[in-house]
């Protein structure tokens, strides 16, 4: 059976729109759906708890009131408010994070595979950067009150370049955005990435690889 060019084009467009629909979050079918974390989640999130048991506390998250732990090699810390800690986010496609920095602290290069991000500098001065898929660097020192958007999946980082502590509030458009640190993924994975791969990727010798790995034990 022969297909005309217009018929083939129609099929291609249909496939495109079907993929587009499948890849986006569905519209909610209820006012809210507080996640029941005791049940294994499905594709679109956790099952809803009984709405008759919901209270105002289910819509409030206090997890980012206090600063995160910054006593580590990076001199920084992060507290995430994802659906796993804040069940009220279930099906809403949102999460939040608080990032704290000591002077010279850094949130190392990382990506969020399932979310775009918006960061708001609440305190201090930070150097914020994005690296695109074609290896372009977009970076600038940000001050209190400024906002940066970070497209989904791109490598990015923030570093405190001021003399005082810094604080960032970040919002992400996924209830479970995921996070993957570049260095930790390559040097701290289990089982280990073979030395030969690391040598050829980062141009390091075996001794240097062992030294970097020791930071992720």
List binding-site positions for Mn(2+): 110, 112, 117, 156
Q: Which residues are annotated binding-site positions for oxalate?
A: 112, 117
The angle that helices 195-202 and 206-213 make with each other, rounded to 10 degrees, is 100
Closest CA relative to residue 173, chosen from 94, 110, 90, 81: 94
Q: Rounded to an integer, what distance in angstroms lies between the CA atom of residue 124 and that of residue 106?
A: 13
Query: Vertex 19, ends 15 and 23: CA angle to 5°?
Result: 175
In the three-class reduction of DSSP (H, G, I as helix; E, B as strand; rest coil), residue 48 is classed as strand
The structure tokens listed for 90 are 């279930």
Closest CA relative to residue 124, chosen from 137, 142, 111: 142
Q: Are 63 and 85 in contact (CB under 8 A)?
A: yes
Q: Which residues are annotated binding-site positions?
A: 110, 112, 117, 156
The structure tokens listed for 63 are 């997890």
DSSP code of residue 184? H
Q: Rounded to an integer, what distance in angstroms lies between the CA atom of residue 150 and that of residue 17?
A: 26
């Amino acid at each position: 059976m022969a297909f005309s060019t217009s018929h083939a084009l129609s099929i291609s467009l249909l496939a495109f729109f079907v993929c587009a629909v499948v890849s986006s979050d569905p519209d909610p079918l209820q006012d809210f759906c507080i996640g029941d974390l005791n049940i294994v989640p499905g594709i679109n999130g956790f099952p809803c708890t009984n709405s008759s048991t919901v209270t105002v506390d289910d819509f409030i998250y206090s997890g980012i009131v206090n600063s995160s732990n910054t006593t580590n090699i990076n001199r920084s810390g992060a507290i995430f408010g994802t659906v796993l800690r804040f069940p009220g986010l279930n099906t809403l496609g949102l999460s939040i994070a608080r990032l704290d920095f000591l002077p010279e602290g850094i949130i190392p290069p990382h990506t969020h595979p399932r979310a775009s991000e918006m960061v708001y500098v609440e305190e201090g001065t930070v150097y914020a950067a994005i690296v695109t898929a074609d290896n372009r660097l977009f970076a600038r020192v940000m001050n209190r009150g400024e906002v940066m958007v970070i497209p989904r999946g791109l490598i990015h980082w923030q570093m405190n370049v001021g003399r005082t502590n810094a604080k960032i509030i970040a919002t992400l458009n996924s209830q479970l955005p995921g996070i993957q640190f570049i260095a930790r993924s390559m040097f701290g994975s289990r089982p280990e990435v073979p030395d030969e791969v690391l040598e050829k990727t980062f141009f390091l010798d075996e001794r240097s690889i062992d030294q970097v790995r020791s930071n992720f034990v």
